[in-house]
Amino acid sequence: MPDPASGDPVPVVATAQAAPFQYDNVQAISWLLLSVFASSVMTIAVRVMSFDLDPRMIVLLRFGITALLLLGAIAALSHLRAKLSFSRRKLHVVRGLCMAVSTHLGFYAISNIELVTVTVLFFMVPIFATALSGFLNGEHAGPRRLAAIAASFIGVLLILKPGYQPLNFAVFAALLSSVLFAFALVMSRRLAAADGSFSVLCSSVAFTTLLSIPLAAPVWQLPQTGTVWIVVAVLVGTGLLRLIADIQAYKLGEASVLAPITYLRLILIGAAAYVMFDEVPDGLAVLGTVIIVSAALYIARREAQLKKQNSIESRK
């Protein structure tokens, strides 16, 4: 599952496979476990770097270095150059800007609120994507999925507890980051079908890097110690690893089988947040988390059932 916390430039959109294809869920789960580990390390890396650097600078470092690596790979490998296609330029621009702003808001939220809270709010992405699909792609959401969406917002209220605790900008940043990421996710399907996933990756990285330059200029500061540079390298490396692992996982496995695995990030990030930053969620936050995760899992399972049903009907 894509997530603004990771800043992943290309959300993986699961699609129905051709009839002869045989899923390999065991291998897919192995890849997704690697993705879960990498994305959890990324979130921790952003928080650790935020003690020394402004979040805007962290985004620029991650995507600037990633852009240089991509340029090197494109220059060296002709088959990558052949994959580049930007037939829907306006859609690339809109999606790229959504990804860029979403990433900046997400990194700001990671730096300023509890990690478990921000991670749960990022899990609202599939909820928002389901809601947006009805408006952007004309996809009908039935009463059960609408109920799951409503329940997830109740979960958000339990976590945030408006009226009982102050709501700072970082909370709204996390939610807006999820909305923009969901918007980009909905657009990804058409863009990837038209120009390929690699082109979508490149445009996302390019726009995020370009937007980050003026945003980071007022707070320009390179890491001052070797330790911070090591964390930068971890952030970039785990970002690429997570991207590859996600692509492999959703290429090999069924989305409905893989969806529950992504929520292991809550356990890993929660444990790290407790040990490293002394963060402990309260009872209402735990209840809200359970509601949001349950709603997201239901939507993933329901969409898988509908895709299977549509596939059977199309073969009749």
Candidate from 5-19, 31-45, 105-119 with smallest mean pLDDT: 5-19
Sign of CA dihedral 77, 79, 80, 81: positive
Per-residue pLDDT at 307: 65
Instruction: Evaluate whether residue 73 is within a structural domain.
Output: yes
| pLDDT given for residue 183 in this prediction | 84
In this structure, is residue 1 part of a structural domain? no
Supply the range of the domain harboring residue 141.
31-311
Helix (H, G, I), strand (E, B) or coil at 178: helix
pLDDT band with cut points at 50, 70 and 90 for residue 2: low
Comparing 134-143, 150-159, 169-178, 221-230, the range with the smallest average pLDDT is 134-143
Residue 17 lies in a domain: no
Q: CA–CA separation, 117 vs 296, rounded Å?
A: 16
Number of domains in the chain: 1
Max CA separation in the chain (angstroms): 64
The kind and range of the H/E element at 184 are: helix 169-195
3 state DSSP class of 129: helix
Q: Note the pLDDT of residue 285.
A: 76
| Residue 11, domain member (yes or no) | no
**Mean pLDDT over residues 179-194, rounded?**
82
Which phi and psi angles does 14 have, rounded to 5°? -70, 135
For residues 295, 34, 196, 188, the Cα torsion angle rounded to the nearest 10 degrees is 20
Residue 15 lies in a domain: no
β-strand partners of 162: 165
Nearest to 238 by CA among 10, 32, 37: 37
Q: Is residue 12 part of a domain?
A: no
245-297 pLDDT, tens digit each: 887 887 777 766 777 777 788 888 988 988 998 988 777 778 877 887 787 77
Q: How far, in Å, CA of 46 to CA of 62, rounded? A: 10
- 121 close to 291: Cβ distance less than 8 angstroms: no
Domain membership flag for residue 130: yes
Q: Copy the structure tokens of residue 50.
A: 């935020």
Task: Evaluate whether 247 touches 12 at the Cβ level (below 8 Å).
Answer: yes
pLDDT at residue 100 greater than cutoff 80 = yes
Any domain includes 10: no
Sign of the alpha-carbon dihedral angle for 151, 156, 161, 162: negative
